[in-house]
Structure 1
Amino acid sequence: MSNSTYILDEKLLASGGSRFANYIVDIIVVFCLIFVFGIVMALIANLFGLGGLMYWLGNMSDFEGQILFVAICIFYYSFSEGIFGRSLGKFITGTIVVDENGQKPSFGTIFKRTLCRLIPFDALSFLGSRGWHDSISDTYVVNKKELEREVKLFHEFNLIGNNEVI
């Protein structure tokens, strides 16, 4: 068996259109999660007679709303990309987050990637090539099917000429 390691080919990177679709779908999911959070908290407040919680939910400041948005984003991206390597947007567009070897990144790398999303103007960083949350965390968003085909071909090519052990 060969000791060579697969290195990601830049041609597998997801298109700008796919990345934009990922962003739109994921933002919609985050807003839905915030809505569900509000409903669950209101139900809990009503069930247990927590008037203060109901008051807070109804009178949340802009700053508190932004903190909630950031917390839900961190939860959503860390959970979905940490467990599946993909957010809902990436499932829909057929893309996946990988490291330079085409493997699922560690949870620490995904968490770093998620925190980098909080950098102001990160979304605009895609006007160049790779976004900041990709380049800082050394991750790549690629087409999943194309990656699987490339990795399979790479490993099959490395088997050529190797003696079969029985």
Structure 2
Amino acid sequence: MRKYLQIVERHKASLGTRFVNNLVDTIILMIVHIILGIASTLIYNYTYINFFFFYNNGGFLWDIFTGFIVAFIYFYLWEYYSDGKTPGKYITGTKVISTDGKKPTQRQYLSRSFYRIIPFEAFTFFGTDGWHDSMTDTRVINYKNYQAESQTKSEIDTIGIKEIA
């Protein structure tokens, strides 16, 4: 069980900020799906490999399945390789952090991405934290405010310690 630092909880992103993050990332995911659809059509027209035909014409359940797969990959890659930020988080100045104040582990990023693809998971934010935060011991925080308070606490802790020049 991880520690829950008060500083992390104090700087959690607001519900409105989280909504903007989700909106931006959803728009980008829609663009990715359009690009994948166009690419699969072009590839099918040149190769006649049935998979590429099926990608665009697989039906409703296939669309949901491919949407979940693409969303899982999108969120995992962005958060893992850009230090807890997706394009939406870059815009709003937020970042994913572990509840103990450290960088999330690869397992936490994978779990966050997995929980996101559960249908209606977005509605879990009407509670305190969404499933992809509470089940993985992570939080989305306002990073500048968190950094400022962390630096202030660090400076206070070093008062009275002799500096070596």
TM-score range, shorter chain: 0.7 to 0.9
Q: CA deviation at 1:54?
A: 4.8
Q: CA deviation at 1:6?
A: 10
Give every structure 1 segment of 4 or more consecutive aligned residues whose post-TM-superposition deviation is greater than 6 Å.
Answer: none
CA contact (8 A) 1:99 1:138 kept: yes
Name the structure 2 match of 1:79: 77
**What runs of 5+ residues in structure 1 fail to find an aligned partner?**
none
Q: CA deviation at 1:156?
A: 1.5
Name the structure 2 match of 1:149: 148
Q: CA deviation at 1:79?
A: 0.4
Question: What is the Cα-based RMSD across aligned positions, in Å?
Answer: 2.0
Equivalent residues in 2 for 1:14-33, closer than 5 Å? 14-33=13-32
Partner SS state of residue 119, structure 1:
coil
Letter of the 2:100 partner, please give it: N
CA contact (8 A) 1:6 1:154 kept: no
* Inter-partner Cα distance in structure 1 for 2:41 and 2:11: 45
Equivalent residues in 2 for 1:57-136, closer than 5 Å? 57-84=55-82, 85-136=84-135
Q: CA deviation at 1:68?
A: 0.5
Mark the CA change 1:58 to 1:124 in structure 2 (over 3 Å): closer, same or farther.
closer
Letter of the 1:151 partner, please give it: S
TM-score of the superposition, structure 2-length normalised? 0.87
* Inter-partner Cα distance in structure 2 for 1:141 and 1:58: 34
Name the structure 2 match of 1:7: 5
Q: Deviations over 1:44-72 (max 9, x none)?
A: 2233x225245324422111111100000
CA contact (8 A) 1:6 1:151 kept: no
| Number of equivalenced pairs | 161
Identity over aligned pairs, percent: 33
TM-score of the superposition, structure 1-length normalised? 0.87
* Inter-partner Cα distance in structure 1 for 2:110 and 2:143: 21
Mark the CA change 1:37 to 1:132 in structure 2 (over 3 Å): closer, same or farther.
same
**What runs of 5+ residues in structure 2 fail to find an aligned partner?**
none
Partner SS state of residue 137, structure 1:
coil
* Inter-partner Cα distance in structure 2 for 1:54 and 1:115: 25
* Inter-partner Cα distance in structure 1 for 2:138 and 2:74: 18
